A and B are shown apart, each in its own frame.
Chain A
Amino acid sequence: MKLSTEEVIERVSILDIPQALKDALVAGLTGQEMTEAQLQEIMDQVVSDYGHSRVEPCEAVGVVAAQSIGEPGTQMTMRTFHYAGVAEINVTLGLPRLIEIVDARKIPSTPTMTLRLAEGYAHDRDLAREVAWAIESTSLLHLGSLATDLAEMNVIIELNSDAMTQRKITAEEVAERLREETGLSVDQRSNTLVMAPEESSYRELLQLVEKIKKISLKGIEGIKRVVIRKEGDEYILYTEGSSLRKVMQFDGVDPTRTKTNNINEIGEVLGIEAARNAIINEATDTLREQGLTVDVRHIMLVADIMTVDGEVKQIGRHGVSGEKASVLARAAFEVTVNHILDAAVRGDVDDLKGVTENVIVGQPIQLGTGDVKLIAKR
Chain B
Amino acid sequence: MTVPKRIGKIKFGLISPQEFRKMSVVKIITADTYDDDGFPIEMGLMDPRLGVIDPGLRCRSCGGRPGECPGHFGHIDLIAPVIHVGFAKIIRKALRGACRECSRLMLLDKEKEMYLQQIRTLERLGQLSDEIVNKVFAEARKHKICPYCGAPQQEIKFERPLSYIEEGHKLTPSDIRDRFEKIPDDDIIIMGMNPATARPEWMILTVLPVPPVTMRPSITLESGQRSEDDLTHKLVDIIRINQRFQENREAGAPQLIIEDLWELLQYHVTTFLDNTVSGVPPARHRSGRPLKTLSQRLKGKEGRFRGSLSGKRVNFSARTVISPDPNLSINEVGVPLEVAMELSVPIVINARNKEAIKVFVRRGPDRHPGVNYVTRADQRRIKITSKNSEEIAEQIDAGWKIDRQLTDGDTVLFNRQPSLHRMSIMAHRVKVMPYKTFRLNPAVCPPYNADFDGDEMNLHVPQTEEARAEAEILMRVQENILSPRFGGPIIGGIHDYVTGSFLLTHGYKPIDREDVMELLKKFPPNEMPEPKGYLEDGEPYWIGKQVFSTVLPKGLNLTFKADFCLNCESCKHEECENDAFVIIRDGQLLKGTIDAEAVGAFKGKITDRVIKEYSPSVASEFLDRMTLLALRGIMYAGFSFGIDDEDIPTDAADQIDETTRTAKENVQRLIEAYKAGELEPLPGRTLDETLEMRIMQTLGKARDNAGQIAGRYLGLDNSGVVMAVSGARGSMLNLTQMAACVGQQSVRGERIRRGYAGRTLPHFRRGDMGAEAHGFVESSYKDGLSPTEFFFHAIGGREGLVDTAIRTSQSGYLQRRLVNALQDLEVKYDGTVQETRGMIVQFKYGEDGVDASRRDYASPDNVKRIIQKILKHGGAKS
Contact = CB atoms under 8 A, between A and B. Distances in A.
Interface of A: 17-18, 20-21, 23-25, 27-29, 32-35, 37-38, 40-42, 45-46, 49-50, 52-74, 76-79, 81, 86-89, 95, 98-99, 102, 225, 227, 293-298, 300-302, 304-305, 308, 315-316, 319-321, 323-329, 331-333, 336-338, 340-357, 359-363, 366-369, 371, 375-376, 378
A296 B806 CA distance: 27
A53 B860 contact: no
A113 to B, nearest CB: 15
Interface string B384-424: 00000000000000000000000000000000000011100
B299 A336 contact: yes
A315 B819 CA distance: 9
Contact of A71 (B129, B198, B485, B825): B485
Contacts, number: 363
A28 B836 contact: no
Interface in B663-678: none
Contact of B845 (A55, A294, A360): A55
B863 A28 contact: yes
Given A55-B831, A345-B90, A360-B310, 5 more contacts: A74-B808, A295-B852, A300-B846, A325-B837, A337-B86
Interface stretch (B170-178, B765-773, B868-876): B868-876
Q: Which of B1, B474, B857 has the most CB of A within 10 A?
A: B857
A68 B421 contact: yes
Given A58-B826, A59-B826, A95-B807, A323 B128 contact: yes
Given A340-B298, A346-B193, A327 B823 contact: no
Contacts of A362: 312
A344 B684 contact: no
Nearest to A317: B817
A144 B618 CA distance: 74
B821 A320 contact: yes
B870 A54 contact: no
A185 B811 CA distance: 55
B822 A301 contact: yes
Contacts of B749: 79, 81
Contact of A41 (B87, B420, B837, B876): B876
Contact of B878 (A37, A50, A375): A37
Contacts of A102: 814, 817-818
Nearest to A373: B3
Contacts of B300: 336
A297 to B, nearest CB: 3
Contacts of A52: 854, 857
A27 B858 CA distance: 15
B848 interface: yes
A286 to B, nearest CB: 12
Given A49-B866, A298-B485, A305 B86 contact: no
Contacts of A54: 831, 849-851
A38 to B, nearest CB: 5
B845 A21 contact: no
B818 A70 contact: yes
Nearest to B838: A353
28 contacts: A20-B859, A24-B863, A41-B877, A42-B870, A53-B854, A53-B855, A54-B849, A57-B829, A66-B822, A67-B422, A68-B421, A70-B814, A74-B811, A79-B748, A87-B690, A99-B814, A293-B485, A300-B847, A301-B842, A315-B818, A331-B305, A332-B309, A336-B300, A337-B274, A345-B198, A349-B10, A353-B836, A371-B826
B484 interface: yes
Interface in B1-22: 1, 3-4, 6-14
Contacts of A300: 842, 846-847
A111 B448 CA distance: 37
A98 B685 CA distance: 27
A24 B866 CA distance: 11
Contacts of B129: 346
Contacts of A33: 871
A49 B309 contact: no
A345 B682 CA distance: 63
Contacts of A336: 298-300, 303, 305-306
B827 interface: yes
A337 B822 contact: no
Nearest to A359: B310
A227 B856 CA distance: 40
Contacts of A357: 10
A340 B12 contact: yes
B9 A349 contact: yes
Nearest to B470: A369
A299 to B, nearest CB: 10
A72 B836 contact: no
> Which of B684, B814, B847 has the most CB atoms of chain A within a 10 A radius of its CB?
B814
A53 B486 CA distance: 14
B227 interface: no
Contacts of A69: 818
B312 to A, nearest CB: 8
A42 B857 CA distance: 14
B257 interface: no
Given A61-B825, A61-B826, A352-B7, A28 B864 contact: yes
Q: Which 6 pairs from chain A and chain B are nearest by CB?
A: A62-B825, A347-B194, A70-B815, A297-B846, A73-B811, A62-B822
Nearest to B682: A87
Nearest to B484: A64
A65 B690 CA distance: 43
A136 B748 CA distance: 29
Contact of A95 (B8, B470, B810): B810
Given A332-B310, A345-B90, A352 B822 contact: no
Given A49-B862, A99-B814, A297-B846, A60 B298 contact: no
Given A59-B827, A87-B683, A347-B197, A68 B852 contact: yes
A110 B697 CA distance: 25
Contact of B421 (A40, A67, A353): A67
B567 interface: no
Contacts of A331: 298, 305
Nearest to A369: B470
B828 A57 contact: yes
Contacts of A63: 422, 819, 822-823, 825
